[in-house]
Structures are given as structure tokens and as C-alpha cells.
Amino acid sequence: MVVTALGFDFTNGFHDTGNAMATSIVTGALPPRVAVAVSAVLNLVGAFLSTAVAATIANGLVASGEVTLTVVCAGLTGSILWNLATWFLGIPSSSSHALIGGVVGATVAAAGVGAVKWQGLVSKVIVPAALSPFIAGGVAVVGTLLVYRLTRDVPEGPRGRGFRLGQIGSASMVSLAHGTNDAQKTMGAITLALIANGTLQAGAKAPDWVIVSCALAIALGTYIGGWRVIRALGKGLVEIEPPQGMAAESASAAVILCSTDFGYSLSTTHVATGSILGSGIGRSGAVVRWQLARRMVAAWLLTLPAAAGVGAVAYWTANGIGGTTGVAVIFTVLVLASVAFFAASRYPAVTPENVNAAWTGSVAPEPVKDEVRS
């Protein structure tokens, strides 16, 4: 179970790298490999700064007394498979909601709807999910309007260089904020499993070894870099200039840090996407690809029920087989599916070298044709 949970944390890291670094990479503020390395370090640091979100996942969404290790494993299976599917398609969906959906679906399959704390689910997850893109987008619109208005008399060259330097700071703040929010979710899942196993008492906080291992897993995943999602956010959604990038990143960091303080398991993906869209709306003449935005919103609406459905099926499968064998079967299926997604993503692959290639309507860049020498 712990290995599966850390596997989810790893996918969370590379799935969500784009939330912090996509705009900095596309504007040239940071080279791609440097950007993901900086993001990884700051995610690691952020994971140690707060445990409020971990407490929400461990004790605020489902009745811990009804949860078994099989339930947690099944829930994690649903969340990982949804993360991998959306990463492959280049859709920046919510890892937070994938985890919550998977755990809730597996819990309902095991103990019925009464085991879910619906009030906590609505107030701590669904309401913030619905409001956060609009709040972040609104902040980004205002920020973008202000930065262009205040710097309208500054020559384009110095302005671009100045804002690219500013983006290093704002992108770093998003990475730090991401660590304070997203790393906590896996800490909560492992803590929930330890409570189910009787290792910890109900209401216990995440032990130190859980905090350290989750911080390292999300940092490693971030360093790997989810180039497919980075490309979709940075090149596909909006044509971004440095002032927009700084405004979007600053808006994202502010909203995520506020939500972490209140213990809301907020989707950093929703926040970052709303901020990027807001920066496009705020700049006169910017290109916003609404068709791609609609695809992302559709994925957001499907995330909770889809992950819950897979989590429920995984639980029924494991429970039907029974014992350790049942859990081993769903773990094996998860590993095979992960390998299949990775293999499929190589043809063609999105890499640091082509992540900024011109957008052609697909997350996969056009292959570079070798020039025929005469």
C-alpha cells in the first residue's frame, strides 16, 4: 500500500509540474531542465511546511473506521490510472480529485454511501474546485491588465527581460505552494491506511517518515517532468508573453497558499489553468484556444466520478479474489497499465527539446524531418 501511495505521489509530481513551470518554460525565463529541477527542490521544501491538507484527507472525507488497506489500495489504483490517462492525452486534470475520487469510490464499494463524510467532501473539495479557477482567473486578469498598463512606456526588450526574471520568483512560489498542498494528499492517504491497520489511532497526524517519503516522491516525479502536460498548458492554451506568465504564476501561488492555510485539498491544476486563461483574457489581442479549454473542463468534471468508478471496480476485484492475492492482482494490473501508458507516450515523445515546438493542435509535436542533402 505504501509503495502504491508513493507511486501516486510520483505521478502527481510529473503530472503537475506544468502548473508551476509551463509559462516560465514557454517564455524562456528558465531552460526546461533547470525549471523542473528548481520545481522539484521547492516541492520538496513545501511538503514540510504544512500538514493541514493531509489531515483533511486522512480524517475529513471518509469514516476511517470503515476503511481497510484493500480500500486504500483500490482507491490509489483508480487515482493513478486516471493520472496516467490524462497525462498521456496532455490534459492537465486534477491529481487531488483523482485521489479523492478513487478513495471515495473504493470506500462506497466497501461500506456503502454512509461511510463518506459528504459535508466535508462538498465543503473541502467540491466547492473549492468549482470556485478556484474563477478566483485565480479573476486575479490573473487584474494582474495582467495592471502589468501591461504600468509598463506600457517601457521598451519591449527591457520589459521582457525584467518579467522573465520576475517569472523565476513567481514560478518558484507556485512550486513551493504546490508542495504545501499536493504532497499532503499522499501523506493523508498513507496515514489513513496506517489508521486502518491499527498502527495509528483515529485522528492521528502523519508520522515523520511519511512526510519525508512523500516529499521525496513528489520531488522526484517533478524532476522527471510531465512534458506532455507542460506543452499543453504552455503552448496549447494561450500564447503567453513574460508579463502574462508572471501575472498567472503570482495569481496561482496566492490562491494555492490561501487554500493550504484553510486545509482545502485544492486542485493546483484548476488554479493554474484558470490563471493562464485569465492572463490570456487580460492581454489585448492574446490567442486563447477555447476548444482545448473546454476539453480540460470536461476532464475536470469527469475526474471524481471516473476515478471513483475505477476505485470501486478495483475494490470489488480485490475483495472478490480475497486476501493478499486480490491486492496483488490489482497491483500487477496497475504496473502493467503504467508500463503500457509509458510505452505509448514514446511514439512520438514530448521532450525538453521539443516541448516548445509550435502548437499544431496536438500535444505531440510534428516530427522534425531530416533535410535531404544534395
Q: pLDDT grade, residue 314 (50/70/90)?
A: very high
pLDDT one-digit tens code per residue, 14-44: 887 777 788 888 888 888 889 888 888 888 8
Q: What is the structure's pLDDT at 59? A: 62
pLDDT one-digit tens code per residue, 250-283: 888 888 878 777 766 667 788 888 888 888 888 8
Note down the domain range covering 306. Answer: 1-128+163-233+298-354
pLDDT at 311 over 80: yes
Mean pLDDT within 77-91 = 88
Q: What is the structure's pLDDT at 367? A: 64
- Residue 288 inside a domain? The answer is no
Q: What is the structure's pLDDT at 354? A: 85
- Residue 327 inside a domain? The answer is yes
Q: How many domains does the chain have?
A: 1
pLDDT at 337 over 70: yes
Q: What is the structure's pLDDT at 257? A: 79
- Residue 5 inside a domain? The answer is yes
The rounded mean pLDDT for the chain is: 83
The answer to whether 36 and 225 are in contact (CB under 8 A) is yes
What does pTM read for this prediction?
Answer: 0.82
Q: Which residue has the higher pLDDT, 195 or 307?
A: 307
Q: What is the structure's pLDDT at 167? A: 86
Write a three-state SS string for 28-91. CCCCHHHHHHHHHHHHHHHCCCCCHHHHHHHHCCECHHHCCHHHHHHHHHHHHHHHHHHHHHCC
Supply the DSSP symbol for 364.
S
- Residue 247 inside a domain? The answer is no
Q: What is the structure's pLDDT at 129? A: 78
Q: pLDDT grade, residue 47 (50/70/90)?
A: confident
Mean pLDDT within 293-306 = 87
- Residue 292 inside a domain? The answer is no
Q: If 0-12 CB within 10 Å is exposed, 13-18 middle and 19+ buried, where does residue 370 land? A: exposed
Q: Which residue has the higher pLDDT, 198 or 139?
A: 139
- Residue 124 inside a domain? The answer is yes
Mean pLDDT within 61-88 = 84
Q: What is the structure's pLDDT at 372? A: 41
- Residue 276 inside a domain? The answer is no
Find the DSSP H helices in 263-361: 268-282, 290-321, 323-345
Q: What is the structure's pLDDT at 371? A: 40
- Residue 188 inside a domain? The answer is yes
Q: Which range is most confident: 113-122, 128-137, 316-325?
A: 316-325
Residues β-bridged to residue 288: 238
Q: What is the structure's pLDDT at 370? A: 45
How distant, in Å, are the alpha carbons of 97, 270, 271 from that of 252?
18, 9, 6
Q: Which three cell numbers stand for residue 17?
A: 509540474
